[in-house]
């Protein structure tokens, strides 16, 4: 064969060569001309195998060489999508707008149209299972505020935080672009973070088919998943510049490996090399090893790095009590010569002065002058008492300072001091004891001609009757809060034809129940696609429920879960 090719290349002729030999020469030249360009353009090869439990390297070949990752890029797109969901920025049912740029991406595609709105759950399924470029671009633009370039910056920030040192992204789908590269080691590291950081979403990578909203899609990795024992993910990729790429994860016993192959010659060749690498890796990986989970990234997106969060460290101070006022009137000024009602000595002196003879000069009592007798006045002492009570009720502002010993408080309203009856030879009077405030016009004094006792003790006087119409200006007591009735959470769902649901059981925490709901919704999207998810807080734990289903759909969904050895029960009327 070599001599024949040499003769053809040098132009020598051999008359003894038969016609059949001439035709063979021509065929060999055509084959060489066809295969030489492909051999020259073959993508570089790289491989890396790690123990997923510890992150330690098992095998490496050109592991840090910067190569085209192709659709393995979508692993980072999905990682950021899962991050946004967990941070509450978006939800699985959030609808993303499809742009003309996203809809115009080359195959593989889901078939999105410009202006269409589609839920994020369907975009994730299309990007993870079918490796749809239009779906991945729509995710990137939706999370990047409408710009795929902004999303690419977020991807690069996340790559640095994950420790991917030989990676730089330019788009969300992995199509060949300048400055878009990664390495076998970095992509294996990203696959490990997907497994540990988002276990509730990781099962999407093992799906053979999925409902992507507008179509049912098949997995680009189904052949390897079906052929290799223990394989459960992760992602394939192919472009002419990159070759046939694959990041795979597999488990056997208590061992789990994650490996990446870049630059395969075909799908079969790539899968064969991956199988050999994993077989060798399972043979070298130790049986018993301490699991060391990777540290989660400190910053999720670039804009979170730029934002400064200030945390107040000062101890909380109790709020100052609001000023309390009993009356809006000003307190009367205290006279310097006024007698204090609360002072027993002052009261006794006032009584002695009131009992003195008429010809004796009476000292100034409480700085007020004795009222003059009015002709024809025949009112009794009881009338004077009531009049004094009416006066004080009408003028609450006449409360003197330091009157706690001679006055009583009724619901915040201070009553008048008890009246003192006096007797004198010149004139017998009953007057209100001045408590130190200057007499004001309009005060009511009633004289009486009836004989009065010579001496009167302050304690013997009758207290005025308490008024029925008490005015409460303020309350110093704090009302006790009404006891709250215990809330009973009932798992039964009611309402119409869709009053049925499915309970997945009780869990110790709300987050655990929510994770089971999300994972079940992804795995059984056909059964729970339109059902609502809720977590009920019961005395026995947190109950994970799907609601808003018909009886037939709820029973069918529960049967599917029973087939997967997952407990459930149908709720309904």
Asked if residue 533 has a cis previous peptide bond (ω within 30° of 0), the answer is: no
Instruction: Provide the annotated active-site residues.
Output: 71, 74, 131
Tokens, residue 326 = 């009993």
Q: What is the pLDDT of residue 540?
A: 85
Residue 543 burial (CB count, 10 A):
19
Residue 100 burial (CB count, 10 A):
9
Residue 472 burial (CB count, 10 A):
9
Give the C-alpha separation, 249 to 247, whole Å. Answer: 7
CA 295 to each of CA 153, 161, 163, 168: distance values in angstroms, whole numbers, following the listed order: 21, 10, 10, 21
Q: What is the pLDDT of residue 416?
A: 42
Q: Please give the chain's pLDDT, 573 residues, in tens.
A: 344 334 444 444 444 445 545 554 555 444 444 443 443 346 799 999 999 999 999 999 999 999 999 999 999 999 999 999 999 999 999 999 999 999 999 999 999 999 999 999 999 999 999 999 999 999 999 999 999 999 999 999 999 999 999 999 999 999 999 999 999 999 999 999 999 999 999 999 999 999 999 999 999 999 999 999 999 999 999 999 999 999 999 999 999 999 999 999 999 999 999 999 999 999 999 998 899 999 888 654 444 444 434 444 444 455 544 444 444 455 555 544 444 444 566 656 665 665 555 444 434 444 455 555 555 444 444 444 444 444 444 444 434 344 443 333 334 334 444 444 444 443 443 333 343 344 344 444 444 455 544 444 444 445 555 555 544 444 444 444 444 444 333 333 434 456 889 999 998 888 888 888 888 887 887 788 778 888 988 888 899 998 888 888 888 888 888 877 888 998 886
Nearest to 213 by CA among 515, 530, 553: 530
Give the C-alpha separation, 490 to 543, whole Å. Answer: 10
List b or e across 129-162, with b for residues whose CB sees 16 or more CB atoms inside 10 angstroms: bbbbbbbbbbbbbbbbeeebebbbebbbbbbebb
Nearest to 78 by CA among 189, 255, 223, 235: 235
Distance of CA 465 to the CA centre of its chain: 62
Give the C-alpha separation, 314 to 190, whole Å. Answer: 41
Give the C-alpha separation, 349 to 337, whole Å. Answer: 14
113 is in an annotated binding site: no
Angle at the Cα of 521 from the Cα atoms of 516 and 526, rounded to 5 degrees? 150
Report pTM: 0.50
Quote the strand ranges of 22-72, DSSP E: 46-51, 56-61
The gap between the terminal CA atoms of the chain, to the nearest Å, is 83
Q: What is the pLDDT of residue 1?
A: 39
Domains of the chain by start residue, with CATH: 2-40 (no CATH), 46-296 (3.40.710.10), 338-400+409-457 (no CATH), 500-571 (3.30.70.1070)
Tokens, residue 56 = 């330690």
Q: What is the pLDDT of residue 173?
A: 96
Q: What is the pLDDT of residue 306?
A: 45
Q: What is the pLDDT of residue 14?
A: 45
Residues listed for the chain: 573
Give the C-alpha separation, 74 to 31, whole Å. Answer: 37
Tokens, residue 504 = 């997945």
Tokens, residue 309 = 């969060």
């Amino acid at each position: 064969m070599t001599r024949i090719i040499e003769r053809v290349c040098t132009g020598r002729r051999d008359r003894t060569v038969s016609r059949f030999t001439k035709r063979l020469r021509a065929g060999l030249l055509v084959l060489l001309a066809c295969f030489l360009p492909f051999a020259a353009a073959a993508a570089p090869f790289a491989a890396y195998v790690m123990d997923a439990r510890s992150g330690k390297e098992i095998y490496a070949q050109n592991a840090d060489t910067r190569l085209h990752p192709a659709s393995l890029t979508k692993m980072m797109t999905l990682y950021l999508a899962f991050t946004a969901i967990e941070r509450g920025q978006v939800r699985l049912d959030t609808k993303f707008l499809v742009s003309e740029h996203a809809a115009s991406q080359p195959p593989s595609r889901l078939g999105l149209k410009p202006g269409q709105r589609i839920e994020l759950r369907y975009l994730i399924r299309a990007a993870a299972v079918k490796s749809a470029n239009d779906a991945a671009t729509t995710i990137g633009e939706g999370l990047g505020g409408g710009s795929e370039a902004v999303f690419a910056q977020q991807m690069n920030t996340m790559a640095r935080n994950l420790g991917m040192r030989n990676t730089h992204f330019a788009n969300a789908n992995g199509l060949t672009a300048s400055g878009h590269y990664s390495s076998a080691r970095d992509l294996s590291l990203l696959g490990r973070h997907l497994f540990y950081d988002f276990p509730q979403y990781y099962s999407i990578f093992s799906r053979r088919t999925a409902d992507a909203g507008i179509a049912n899609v098949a997995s680009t990795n189904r052949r390897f998943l079906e052929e290799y024992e223990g394989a459960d993910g992760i992602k394939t990729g192919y472009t002419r510049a990159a070759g046939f790429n694959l990041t795979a994860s597999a488990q056997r016993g208590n061992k789990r490996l994650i490996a990446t192959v870049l630059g395969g010659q075909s799908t079969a060749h790539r899968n064969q090399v991956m199988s050999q690498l994993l077989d060798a890796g399972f043979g070298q990986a130790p049986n018993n090893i301490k699991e060391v989970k990777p540290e989660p990234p400190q910053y999720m997106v670039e804009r979170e790095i730029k934002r400064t969060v200030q945390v107040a460290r000062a101890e909380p101070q109790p709020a100052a009590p609001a000023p309390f006022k009993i009356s809006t009137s000003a307190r009367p000024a205290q006279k310097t010569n006024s007698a204090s009602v609360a002072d027993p000595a002052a009261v006794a002196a006032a009584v002695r002065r009131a009992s003195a003879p008429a010809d004796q000069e009476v000292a100034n009592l409480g700085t007020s002058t004795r009222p003059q007798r009015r002709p024809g006045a025949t009112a009794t002492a009881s009338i004077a008492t009531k009049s004094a009570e009416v006066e004080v009720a009408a003028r609450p502002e006449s409360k003197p300072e330091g009157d706690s010993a001679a006055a009583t408080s009724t619901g915040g309203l201070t009553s008048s001091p008890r009246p003192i009856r006096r007797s004198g030879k010149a004139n017998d009077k009953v007057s209100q004891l001045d408590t130190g405030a200057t007499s004001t016009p309009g005060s009511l004094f009633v004289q009486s001609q009836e004989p009065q006792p010579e001496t009167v003790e302050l304690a013997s006087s009758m207290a005025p009757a308490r008024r029925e119409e008490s005015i409460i200006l303020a309350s110093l007591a704090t009302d006790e809060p009404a006891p709250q009735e215990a809330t009973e959470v009932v798992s039964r769902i009611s309402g119409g034809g869709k009053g049925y649901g499915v309970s997945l059981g009780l869990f110790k925490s709300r987050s655990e129940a929510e994770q089971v709901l999300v994972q079940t919704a992804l795995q059984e999207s056909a059964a729970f696609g339109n059902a609502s998810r809720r977590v009920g807080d019961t005395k026995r734990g947190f109950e994970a429920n799907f609601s808003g289903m018909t009886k037939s759909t709820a029973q069918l969904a529960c049967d599917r879960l029973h087939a997967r050895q997952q407990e459930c029960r149908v709720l309904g009327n």
